[in-house]
Amino acid sequence: MRKSRKRFAVCIDNTDYHASLIPGKLYEVLPDEDAAKDDFIRVIDESGEDYLYHQSLFIPVELPVKVQRALRTISHQGLQTPVGSGL
């Protein structure tokens, strides 16, 4: 089985989710095929937990491999710096 790479998306609308999402912030997206069938994506939000949000609230982003590796290293080290906080 091939190891899946991390996916990310930028929040463009936090209507109804002011405490959970910050517009312009980069969020990690987790795979969820069932959610995708209904136009939802699973995102690790400001609570640090993963929740479903409608895909219209986000724009997917392709990150350079070097950036993906850096973000992966940060998450494995358990640092408290949020993904989109401007490392």
23-34 mean pLDDT? 94
Reduced to 3 states (helix: H, G, I; strand: E, B; else coil), residue 74 is helix
Does residue 87 carry a pLDDT above 50? no
pLDDT of residue 15: 97
Rounded Cα distance between 61 and 24, Å, is 12
Give the pTM. Answer: 0.75
Rounded Cα distance between 31 and 2, Å, is 14
Mean pLDDT of the chain, nearest integer:
85
Does residue 85 carry a pLDDT above 80? no
pLDDT of residue 70: 86
Structural domains in the chain plus CATH codes: 7-77 (2.30.30)
Does residue 80 carry a pLDDT above 60? no
Interval 50-72: pLDDT, tens: 999 999 999 999 999 898 788 77
